[in-house]
Amino acid sequence: MSMLPYLRAAVRPALRRSTPSQPGYDATRDPSASSAVVDCAVYRDGRRALGSACLTPREAMARVRESGGFAWIGLHEPTEAEFAGIAATFGLHPLAVEDAVHAHQRPKLERYDDTLFTVFKTIHYVEHAELTATSEVVETGEVMCFTGPDFVITVRHGGQGSLRSLRHRLQDDPELLAKGPSAVLHSIADHVVDGYIAVAAAVQDDIDEVESAVFAAPAKGSARGGDAGRIYQLKREVLEFKRAVSPLLRPMELLSERPMRLVDPDIQKYFRDVADHLARVHEQVIGFDELLNSILQANLAQATVAQNEDMRKITSWAAIIAVPTMICGVYGMNFEHMPELHWRYGYPMVMAAIAGSCFTIHRALRRHGWL
């Protein structure tokens, strides 16, 4: 129990780059490599066994069964053929294997005999100089984790969500790794949720920027409602974020509350902390969605108000022009006997009447805010 207070420090993302303590690990799959395995190691008493960097999964499992400990195998986007041998060696269920190979799964937790299959959606914030109607805000990936009594198999899809730094930090804390595969599962869950927290903070900044732009005074010559495209794009990205966070709530509750033979009781306590952080992020994402709805409605309302103001101005000028049009139309008729038709001062009087009427109407419309 003495090493448990250091659990959070061990699995939290460090601000500095960790120095690899063991050779033989790469973060992503080399396209020219013949295998999807990016790392395969055996851990005994929390330490990486010497000479395990070049082991195959079958050799690693043989060592575990012979000398104890557990194997941690990391893969990046394996094909069915590449994963078939590993699935047979560790006795993985065909349904879970199919999900791990084809990806595009929603976050979940499933139990197959003596194996837990967990799916996490990783979220990466895409940096952008300016948010536009086509900006990509978040990028998603997937991490699948098979957890057994003496093995952990992680399958990663996508260019983001590397577990390299996580593995190095765990290797620097042998007391934690000595807790077995469940410690690795907790560390992965905590690593993913910490990523959610960082992305939520960055998305909050984008929402604040859009909100300020919507309620700020428009620049001269610019029309209201021009931010609708940016708001809608940001709302779509938040929806993608929500799809990663919401389904994971139930699996984290199960891991933190329901006793499981494959999860160490001491480690299970710390799943509660992960579940609490996840619930907080979920509340933030729901708030983002509601706030963006309000901002979009306010933006559309402003556009409607601007259109109404334009229509009022057009109507006002049409009313002013209607007066000279009516008077000129009457005196433009081809009748001989019309009032003041042959009067010397008839033309100046008509022009004065037109000017006076237009001035009076214009002044009245300005007083009522139509012009």
DSSP calls for 290-348: HHHHHHHHHHHHHHHHHHHHHHHHHHHHHHHHHHHHHHHHHHTS--SS-TTTT-TTHHH
37: tokens are 């395995």
Q: What Rg, from alpha-carbon coordinates, does the chain have?
A: 34
Residue 21 · residue 171 · CB < 8 Å:
yes
Given a cut of 80, whether residue 311 has pLDDT beyond it is: yes
Q: What percent of the chain has pLDDT over 70?
A: 85
Whether the per-residue pLDDT at 4 is higher than 80: the answer is: no
> Running DSSP on this structure, what letter comes out for residue 33?
-
Residue pLDDT, tens place only, 33-86: 446 888 888 999 888 887 666 678 888 888 888 888 899 999 999 999 989 989
Q: Which CATH number fits domain 308-368: 1.20.58, 1.20.120, 1.10.8, 1.10.3470?
A: 1.20.58
pTM of the model: 0.75
The strand pair at 115-125 and 138-147 is best described as antiparallel
Q: Which CATH superfamily hosts domain 37-302? A: CorA soluble domain-like (3.30.460.20)
Instruction: Tell whether the model's pLDDT for residue 2 goes beyond 50.
Output: no
Alpha carbons 235 and 292: distance in angstroms, whole number: 6
The Cα–Cα gap between 305 and 298 comes to: 10
Integer Cα distance of 192 and 189 in angstroms: 5
For the cut 70, the answer to whether the pLDDT of residue 27 exceeds it is no
Mean pLDDT in the chain? 82
Q: Is the pLDDT assigned to residue 26 strictly greater than 50? A: no
**Structure tokens belonging to residue 243:** 């799809």
Question: Tell me, what's the pLDDT at 245?
Answer: 94
pLDDT-derived band at 226, boundaries 50, 70, 90: low
pLDDT exceeds cutoff 80 at 8: no
User: Looking at residue 260, what is its pLDDT?
Assistant: 86
Q: What are the residue ranges spanned by the domains of the chain?
A: 37-302, 308-368
Of the listed ranges 111-115, 131-135, 215-219, 236-240, the least confidently predicted one is 215-219
In the numeric block, which tokens belong to residue 199? 């992305």
The confidence score (pLDDT) of residue 151 equals 93
pLDDT of the residue at 143: 94
For residue 92, the model assigns a pLDDT of 93
Token pair 């765990």 is at which residue?
Answer: 170
Taking only the tens place, the pLDDT of each residue in 162-177 is 888 899 999 998 898 8
Alpha-carbon span 61 to 88, nearest angstrom: 12
For 316-359, what is each residue's pLDDT tens digit? Answer: 888 888 888 887 877 777 767 777 677 777 778 878 888 888 88
pLDDT above 60: residue 18 = no
State which H helix or E strand residue 158 sits in: none
Question: Is the pLDDT assigned to residue 21 strictly greater than 50?
Answer: no
Distance set, CA 337 to CA 242, 330, 343, 349 (Å): 81, 13, 12, 18
Q: Are strands 37-44 and 115-125 parallel, antiparallel or unpaired?
A: unpaired
Q: pLDDT tens digit string along 271-303?
A: 999 999 999 999 999 999 999 998 888 888 877
Helix, strand, coil percentages (3-state) for the chain, rounded to 5, are 55, 15, 30
The pLDDT tens digits for 86-137 are 999 999 999 999 999 988 889 999 999 889 999 999 999 988 888 887 888 8
Residue 16's pLDDT band, with cuts at 50, 70 and 90, is very low
